């Protein structure tokens, strides 16, 4: 566990990268059509950064979750939360990560 890990900073960094992800999605020429069928799954240049931040959070004993909340125009906004990982799961995390 990183002694300098700050939960609020982790959420802020993840939120900033997630915003870039949404911006990239919105620039897609077919984004509006995808929104009509509520399909928000696509590959982005930010995917690797999001994965890296998620690993950092887990290494420090937390789960990061993002929940899409849709407004009246079916545009997603994201609620980000960190939850404490159970001690036994955090103890097993380094071995699991080594398998990747």
**Arithmetic mean of pLDDT, 63-69:** 82
What is the per-residue pLDDT across 2-60, written as a single tens digit (0 to 9) for each? Answer: 678 899 999 999 989 888 888 887 787 777 776 666 666 666 778 888 888 988 898 88
Lowest mean pLDDT among 48-52, 62-66, 75-79: 75-79
Q: Write out the DSSP string of the chain.
A: --TT--HHHHHHHHHHHHHHHHHHHHTSTTHHHHHHTT------TTHHHHHHHHHHHHHTTEEEEEEEEE-TTS-EEEEEEEEEPPHHHHHHHHHHHHT-
Listed by start position, the domains of the chain span 7-98
pLDDT of residue 94: 76
């Amino acid at each position: 566990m990183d002694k300098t890990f700050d939960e609020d900073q982790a959420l802020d960094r993840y939120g900033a990268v997630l915003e870039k992800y949404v911006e990239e999605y919105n620039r897609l020429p077919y984004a509006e059509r995808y929104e009509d069928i509520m399909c928000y799954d696509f590959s982005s240049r930010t995917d690797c950064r999001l994965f890296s931040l998620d690993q950092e959070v887990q290494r420090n004993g937390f789960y990061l979750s993002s929940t899409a909340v849709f407004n009246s125009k079916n545009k997603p906004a994201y609620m980000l939360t960190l939850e404490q990982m159970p001690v036994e799961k955090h103890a097993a995390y380094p071995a699991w990560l080594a398998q990747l």
